[in-house]
Structure 1
Amino acid sequence: MRAGKRTAVLMGLAALCALTAGCGIRDTSVPVDAGAAPSRVPCDLPGDGGMPPAPEGIPVRIYLVCAGRLVPVDRTVQIAEGRTLSDGIRVAEKLLDELRGNPTASEKEAGFSTDVRDPLSVGPGRKSDPAGALRLSRDPADLPANALAQIVCTFAESAAAETDGSVVLGGPAGDPPRAYSCTQQLKSRPDSDPVLGDLRR
């Protein structure tokens, strides 16, 4: 009798498994709301723990691309002893160096990137240019849209900017430089054309 009962139990389990698709969970056509998917591009960097910058470093802010928009990132630039970032051209050189460099490991993990690539340099304007004008080694109109937006917004919020917050940029040719403004629209849509000011002569 014991053997018979054991056989009956085993047969019952086998039948139950067959009904439940091999002892697994059967597919359902009813949609299940599991909530929003976690963001893969948080654009949020971990804090630095309140640590002050190195004594020989100067804090600066640059704009990188993240999730299709411009997001400010704080950096610290190193300068030679006895030198300062008091003039616009030196500021522009240091900022462009930061924009051209690869994002840090934590920035990459957070989804940050840069479209500013070598070869690209910045220098002072010509004698015929307005004071404070900067000349890039490539015409600004020939740069990728994101790259130009990064440069404009980074320069416009630094000592390289004009008093009205714009930045006057020209290329290597003799064309007069233009004033570029870092608007909220440009930060939200860096792939769009930046707002151009009047031709500066």
Structure 2
Amino acid sequence: MGKKFTEIAPDLQDFIKNQKIFFVGTAAETGNVNVSPKGMDAFRVIHQNKIVWLNLTGSGNETAAHLLKNDRMTIMFCAFEGKPMILRLYGTAKMYHPRDKEYQEFIDLFPTTPGSRQIIEMQVDLVQTSCGYAVPFMDYKEDRTVLKDWAQKQGQEKIEQYWTEKNSVSIDGFETKIN
């Protein structure tokens, strides 16, 4: 059943590479807890205790707001095909914007994706696996292109305007420092 580890072992790194979706959980000291699904080719294991992921433009920016208040983060992967397993990564995270040198250092790890707004770097302190026996089988068909298409059509200037209008404050009224 459930096991705890201090690092992301090579077999778990392989599991991560094969997943099409992951979930990010964050919370400030007060307000709402946020869980966000993330897809596309946006996750990289840097080494056994460090990961980065590309955060794309969305309807909100809760992860960013929460990380400014509280740097704890949980990432979860579920096996929707093959052998059942749930993998959780626990740790602390930092957020980088395109204006930050760290963003520029990591961005080439990912395909060029219009609407990229942040890179999140997480120091992994605990790795946990659990059975996943109740997770249903689901077939992967393909990535959606709606976000890429929308961002491409908008262009960078309109995307940054969208960030100001829709991504600068969380649902709890916390600043995100997107601009």
**TMscore range, shorter length:** under 0.3
Q: When the two structures are superposed, what TM-score results if normalisation uses the length of structure 1?
A: 0.25
Q: When the two structures are superposed, what TM-score results if normalisation uses the length of structure 2?
A: 0.27
Specify which structure has the higher proportion of strand: 2
Greater RCO structure (CA 8 Å; 6+ sep): 2
